[in-house]
Amino acid sequence: MNLQLLTEQRILVIGDVMLDRYVWGDVNRISPEAPVPVVRVGDRTEVMGGAGNVAANLAGLGCTVTLLGVRGGDEAGIRLSELCREKGIDPVLFTIRKRPTTTKTRVMARKQQLFRLDEEDVKTLTDKDRETMLAAFEERLPSVDAVILSDYGKGIMQTPGLCRDLIRLCKTYRVPSLVDPKGRDWDRYTGATCITPNTAELEAVSETPFDHDETLLLDVVTRTKKKYKVKCLVLTRGAKGMCVADSDTPPLFLPTQAREVFDVSGAGDTVIATLAAAAAAGLTFAKAAELANTAAGIVVAKVGTQPVNLMELDLALREKDLKEQNKIEGYYKLDSAIAARTRIEAWKAKKETVVFTNGCFDLLHPGHVDLLHKARALGDRLVVGLNSDLSVSRLKGEKRPILAEQDRAAILSALSCVDLVVIFSEDTPLALLDILRPDILVKGSDYTPEQVVGKDLVESYGGRVCLVPLIEGHSTTGIEQRIIGRQDPRD
C-alpha cells in the first residue's frame, strides 16, 4: 500500500495510560548485604506505556492522534503529558489527584530486565469521572477515522458500562472500534468492530487450550467472534505469527515477521495501532493485519517499550520484497538497511564486534578480497555497504558499473568473510552508517582518517575508524582498460 495514506488518518485512543521508566546500568558484582546484583546506574529514560504506547505508535506512523485517559496530579503525570506533546499527540488526560499515575520502573543491565517496580491504583472511575470521560469522547468522535480501546486492566476500562457506551457511540457515529482486551469479561466489548487478543487471553476467555491444535484454534476463534458479535478477530500468537478471522474472508494464518526477538513488550500496542491506521486508510482487515504483522516484527527486535515509525515500516516492506527476490536468485546475505540493523543489534547483544566497509566492488579483484579479509579480521562480523548501480554511475561515469548491483551483491555474498551486504543509493554511506551504527568503520590506507566519510558519526557513539594496507597494482579501472586493450579491433 501507499504508506503515506496512514499519515492522513485521525485516530482516537482511550484507555489505561502509563509512564514506562527505564534505569540502565551494568552489573559487575553481588551485594555484600544480600544475594542480589549491584547495578551501577548509567542512564535513565522515560517513554509512554499502555494506551500511551499505542498512541506513540500511531504518531510514529504519521497519524493525527488524540489520547484520552487519566493521570495523577504527580510528577509522573506531568511528565506523561509532556511526552505526549513531544510526540505531537493531543493529550486529553484528566487529572485525578488522589490517584497516582500508573508508572512502571524497569531496572535494566546489559539489555536484560532485572526487576520492575509498579506504582498504580486499579480502582474504577467514579460516576462523575465516567461521565466526564464519555463527554470528552463523544465530543471528539465525529472528527476521527477510528477508535482504539486499550485495556490494560488498570481500572479505567473495567468501569461499569464504560466500554459498552464507548462502542455504542462508535456505532452511532459510524466509526470503527478496535479493542485490545484484558481479563475474562469480554461482555463489555460486545459489538466492537475488531478485537486483538493474544493466545493466553483468548484461551482464558474461551476456557479452551488450543494453541497446539489449529483446527481447535479456528473453532475457538469462530465461536468467540460470534459470541461477542465482532466483525474481525486478530489473534497474535507470538513466534507463531497471527490468525486473522474477518467476516469477509476465511481465517488467515500469517507467519511471524520477526528475525530476532529481544523484547515483546509493546508488540500488541504496535499491532493494534498499525491495524487501526491501515483499516482506517481503506485496507481490509486481512491486509491491515499483514501490515501490522510486519510492524510487530520490527518492535520485538528492540529493547524496551519502543514504537514503530513510518520509515522503519517502509524499509521492512522493501525488505520483504527483497527477500522474495532473494529466494529466487539466491542472494541470501543481501538485506535491507532496517533488517541489517536488526541483525546488527542481535550480534551486538551477543557481544560481537561489527565491522563495516563500503564500496562499488565492480569486477571483484584480489585487492578487494584482501581488504575484505583484513576488515573481517578486526571483528566478529563484516557488513559491506554496496553502492547501487545509479550511485556507481554518478561516481564512476555512465559506462559503469560493469556488473549490475545484484550480480555484485551475489559475488560478495559468496565470500566467507562477508556476513551481510546492504545496497545503498546515496553517493556516500553516511545515511546507512547512521542506521547501522557499526563498531568499526574500515577503509583502505589510500585514505587519511579525515577523508573517511562517517568518521565523526562513528566516533560520536564510541566507534572507531581503521585504515588497512592495500595490495598495490589492483583496480577495477585497470582491469577494464586491459580488457579494452586486448579486444580485437574487428569486434
Instruction: State the catalytic residues.
Output: 269
Residue 3: count of CB within 10 angstroms of its CB: 17
Cα 464 to chain centroid, rounded:
27
Rounded Cα distance between 205 and 227, Å, is 11
CA distance 209 to 221: 12
Read off the amino acid at residue 429.
P
What phi and psi, each to the nearest 5 degrees, are found at residue 131?
-65, -35
**CA neighbor of 50 nearest in space, from 189, 152, 155:** 152
Query: Of 357, 362, 359, 358, nearest to 478 (Cα)?
Result: 362
Query: CA–CA separation, 224 vs 187, rounded Å?
Result: 11
Residue with cell 550480534: 347
- Calculate the dihedral angle through the C-alpha atoms of 155, 156, 160, 162, rounding to the nearest 10 degrees: -160
What's the residue count for the chain?
491
End-to-end CA gap in the chain? 49
Per-residue CA distances from 6 to 62, 318, 337 (Å): 6, 17, 22
Q: What share of the chain is helix, strand, coil (3-state, %, to 5)?
A: 40, 25, 35
- Residue 320 corresponds to which cell in the numbers above? 520483504
Neighbours of 51 (CB within 10 A): 28
Cell 459498552 belongs to residue = 164
Task: Please list, in sequence order, all residues whose beta carbon lies within 8 angstroms of the beta carbon of residue 54, skipping any fewer than 6 positions away.
Answer: 13, 15, 148, 150, 180, 269, 272, 273
User: Around Cβ 488, how many Cβ atoms within 10 Å?
Assistant: 5
- Transcribe 459-489 into DSSP letters: HHTT-EEEEE---TT--HHHHHHHHHHHS-T
Residues 159, 164, 170, 176, CA torsion sign: positive
Residue reference for cell 538485506:
335
Cβ partners under 8 Å of residue 261, min gap 6:
239, 300, 301
- The C-alpha torsion from 233 through 235 and 236 to 241, rounded to 10°, is -110
Tell me the three cell numbers of residue 442: 574500515
